Structure 1
Amino acid sequence: MRVSRTPRPTAAAPPEWVAGAAWVDEIAAPEGASHLRVDSVHFAPGARTAWHSHPLGQVLHVTAGTGLVQCLGGEVHTIRTGDSVRVAPGEWHWHGASPTASMTHLAVQEVAEDGTEAERGSHVTEAEYPARPAAR
């Protein structure tokens, strides 16, 4: 067992991955035999990821605020504190804050054997965001 008490510095999310302001705190990085990555990501209102997919899927767990998530071809869903989203392997999706509220989530995924964590596509357009969220 290893206990880590030294927090890693918060990093701004790179603009090729996120439209708007977002910050990432690394919770766990792949190490040794583990392929697990966990990040806490905080999105300012209106900030969202580009379209992307993960080779082994992803779980999002909202820890604060209100956000939006959409899988390619599907409806935009509102997500709130306590909600979890499971994205299937290879499924193209985006996620981020709602237009008027910030949102923080844990992003949990396994890194593929070849080191691939995600494949990035184009940014979500203004026409796509904010599409009308599906009723909850």
Structure 2
Amino acid sequence: MKKASFLTSLSFVILIFSNSQLKSQTQKTMQTESKILFEKGEKVKNENFTGTAYLKMLVTNNPENPITVGNVTFEPGARNRWHKHLGGQILLVTDGVGYYQERGQPKKILRKGDVIKCPPNVEHWHGASIDSHFSHLAIGNSDKEAVIWLQPVTEEEYLK
């Protein structure tokens, strides 16, 4: 009788432990999956970025909806050049820690959930912090889509 009771108790403990382990693993998987909001896309291969960045266009030119939406992901330390948008730009931060700076203004630290409204023709840059990746949705006006790329952000400007 004692042996049967012991085996029943042991089975119960193993069942609870297994359930706890499964629950823990499921939570870890869900946390990892929740971080990946949009596909990272293709590595940007032009001189408008310092470091490694990726772009996945989610919405492209469409006469019915004159906006573009791109998911931009920066590896730590990566950023784009100073630039301006003829139609302005909206940035919706989806992950990581990044920076945004308008010409002549202090650099802003950005985190998940932050929204930046960059007016038309305002020179600015954005990118990841030195020790974190950074992702945002970049929303533009496709009727006035032109981006005017300017000089690279210097190390001094980036680190200031």
Q: Do they superpose with TM above 0.5? A: yes
Cα 1:12–1:81 shift into 2, 3 Å: same
Shift of 1:43: 0.2
- State the partner residue of 1:128: 157
User: Runs (4+) of structure 1 moved beyond 2 Å?
Assistant: 32-35
Gaps of 5+ in 1: 1-6, 132-136
Root-mean-square deviation (Å)? 1.8
Shift of 1:34: 3.0
Contact 1:24 1:41 in 2 (8 A): yes
Aligned counterparts of 1:112 and 1:45: Cα–Cα separation in 2: 32
**Greater strand share, 1 or 2?**
1
Q: Find out whether 1:30 has 2:61 as its counterpart.
A: yes
With structure 1 as the length reference, what TM-score do the two structures score? 0.84
116-125 or 79-88, which deviates more? 116-125
Decide which of 93, 112, 128 is 2:143's aligned counterpart.
112
Q: Which has the larger radius of gyration?
A: 2
Contact 1:68 1:77 in 2 (8 A): yes
- State the partner residue of 1:3: none
Contact 1:21 1:47 in 2 (8 A): yes
Contact 1:20 1:48 in 2 (8 A): yes
- State the partner residue of 1:134: none
Contact 2:67 2:143 in 1 (8 A): no
Contact 1:61 1:82 in 2 (8 A): yes
Q: Aligned with 2:113: secondary structure?
A: coil
With structure 2 as the length reference, what TM-score do the two structures score? 0.72
Contact 1:8 1:26 in 2 (8 A): no
